[in-house]
Amino acid sequence: MTDNLIGLLVIIPMITAVVSVALVRHPQPQRILGLVSFGSMLLLAIRWLIQIRNGDILVSQMGGWPAPFGITLVFDSLSGLLLCTGLVVAIGCYVHAFSVLGSDSERRYFHPLVQLLLVGVNQCFLTGDLFNMFVGFEIMLMASYGLVSLGGRRSQISQAYKYLILNLVASTAFVISAGFVYGMFGTLNLADLARIVDARVSSGQGLPPGFVAISVLLLFVFGAKGAFFPLWFWLPDTYHTCPTPVAALFSGLLTKVGVYGVARTFPLVFAAGDAGNVVTPLLLGSAAVTMLLGVLGAVSQSQVRRILAIHVLSQVGYMIFGLALMTTAGLAGALYYMVQHMIVKSSLFLCCGVMESHTGSDDLDKLGGLLRRDRFLGISFFIAAMSLVGLPPLSGFFGKLVLVREGWSEHWWLSAIALLTGVLTLVSMLKIWSMGFWSRPLESSQNQEHSLGSNNLGGAYTGIGFLVGAALFVGVAAEPIYGIALTAGEQLTDSTAYLKAVSPLSDISSALESGGSG
């Protein structure tokens, strides 16, 4: 189905970013503008997601050029679900930032940068070709470089380099692999690539030499962005130093775009033929190590923000686990897990931000008795933490259930590691809970009690409440959301629907006859 309006999801934040640059000295209009932009995008995305619940795919061919020749935007169940979740996370973190971020940081182009980040993220989710995915990545990364060094504290700047250099190298690898893919197949459109690769594999012609190398190179690219096992070292340091709303936004959006890249391109194109035999073991091994090392790292830390940051890794491991299975239910489980993780993880980071503004520190040894001082924060944190662990009525349970059950028959050891990781997650979350919230208030913190009300934290609580509410919703509405995820899994494992929706032409002469006027 053609719907050219899906381009709005990229255009709205771009226009908002430009306008808020002009308004950079006036925070209030920028905030309203930003909320209007996020809100309208979320409403549009939800509307389209409801429209495609039967498994339709919305496609927009820019300028009317047919598929491999123009730019294609695709809104299918996978992109739709992630777009909605990403926007929910963005709204929560954005509102939270109003009261946590210093006015200095806010004036230094926080609002335009967040909008630009969303331009990049939305473009990555929507695009139907590899090079535009690269451009989306770059827009997102440029904005994130700015956000990482926002405020410009010393520790932040020196950590920003790690993030910057690794991502620059990964982006360069992305350009190279995109160029080589074009050299091999003469197209960068994912649907067209899938068509050519399928035809070559099924006709026994075989894939060009070097296809496996390109697959692995792309896996490196997405792995670096998504913090897969050997490439995760930048993440804990970066998330540790930047402002909490920014860390929450990053943990919700950035690594997931890397995971999305794998979910989008590998089942469709790059796991075909021999490449699948190389990529799948890599993904499986990476999933196991990422899950286990991430959670072990988290258990050993004593600073809340570090625990949460390293936990992102172990959760990414679950997603890779689902992707590596490459089955319909595995991909659907990974997708559902991504949705709940984005929301839950961001809300935990936001809780951490409020803890810091209450006590001035996120060191567990200096926290204590927070439950008595701030009941709302305690309850929100508990709900979010238990969702992360995966206790039954909450959202994390369903994601883990699907993954563990799906993996059990073929890779029982991975399922066992996933269960063990769940237990250790519980340990690390209980550590924060019992030391930070449940315990007796420390002597030194009691005299700070009066300063509690002085900070205006209205926006912070709204953000947390919104995200925790969304996390509860994902748990309660697990069935419809998993239904959408299952549709996405079917569309990923069987590309006929995707190919039919994009319908790439094989010959340019027919394109010239029917082509656009551009």
Partner 1 sequence: MTLVLAVCVATLVTVSVYLMLSRELKSIAMGVFLLGHGANLAIIAMSGSPVSLVKGLRDAPILGGADLVDPLPQALILTAIVINFAVMGFLLTLLIVTARRTSTLNVDQLAKEDSPAVSPILERSRPERFYE
List interacting residues with partner 1 (CB under 8 A): 68, 108, 131, 135, 138, 142, 145-146, 149, 152, 154, 157-158, 160-161, 164-165, 168-169, 171-173, 175-176, 178-180, 182-183, 185-187, 507-509, 512
Task: Give least dist CB 291 to partner 1, A.
Answer: 29
Helix H or strand E encompassing 75: strand 72-75
Distance, in Å, from the CA atom of 479 to the CA atom of 243, rounded to the nearest integer, reads 35
Task: Give least dist CB 431 to partner 1, A.
Answer: 27
Q: Which two tokens stand for residue 19?
A: 């306008």
Of 68 and 475, which has the nearer Cβ to partner 1? 68
Distance, in Å, from the CA atom of 468 to the CA atom of 461, rounded to the nearest integer, reads 10
Of 186 and 480, which has the nearer Cβ to partner 1? 186
Of 456 and 509, which has the nearer Cβ to partner 1? 509
Of 186 and 458, which has the nearer Cβ to partner 1? 186
Task: Give least dist CB 138 to partner 1, A.
Answer: 5
Q: Which two tokens stand for residue 402?
A: 């699907």
Distance, in Å, from the CA atom of 341 to the CA atom of 85, rounded to the nearest integer, reads 10
Of 151 and 322, which has the nearer Cβ to partner 1? 151
**Strand blocks (E) in 404-488:** none
Q: Which two tokens stand for residue 155?
A: 């520790």
Of 3 and 237, which has the nearer Cβ to partner 1? 237
Distance, in Å, from the CA atom of 469 to the CA atom of 472, rounded to the nearest integer, reads 5
Of 65 and 433, which has the nearer Cβ to partner 1? 65
Closest CA to 74 of 27, 133, 25: 133
Helix H or strand E encompassing 453: none
The CA-atom distances, in angstroms, between 389 and each of 315, 383, 406 are 10, 10, 19
Task: Give least dist CB 461 to partner 1, A.
Answer: 30
What lies within 8 Å, CB to CB, of 379 at 6+ separation is none
SS (H, E, C) 246-293: HHHHHHHHHHHHHHHHHHHHHHHHHCCCHHHHHHHHHHHHHHHHHHHH
Of 164 and 430, which has the nearer Cβ to partner 1? 164
Task: Give least dist CB 513 to partner 1, A.
Answer: 10
Task: Give least dist CB 141 to partner 1, A.
Answer: 8
Distance, in Å, from the CA atom of 335 to the CA atom of 322, rounded to the nearest integer, reads 8
Task: Give least dist CB 67 to partner 1, A.
Answer: 12
Of 67 and 284, which has the nearer Cβ to partner 1? 67
Task: Give least dist CB 174 to partner 1, A.
Answer: 9
Task: Give least dist CB 446 to partner 1, A.
Answer: 30
Distance, in Å, from the CA atom of 120 to the CA atom of 301, rounded to the nearest integer, reads 33
Of 16 and 149, which has the nearer Cβ to partner 1? 149
What lies within 8 Å, CB to CB, of 307 at 6+ separation is 298, 301, 428, 431, 432
Task: Give least dist CB 504 to partner 1, A.
Answer: 11
**Strand blocks (E) in 63-210:** 72-75
Closest CA to 464 of 391, 358, 372: 358
Look at residue 58 and give its three-state secondary structure. strand
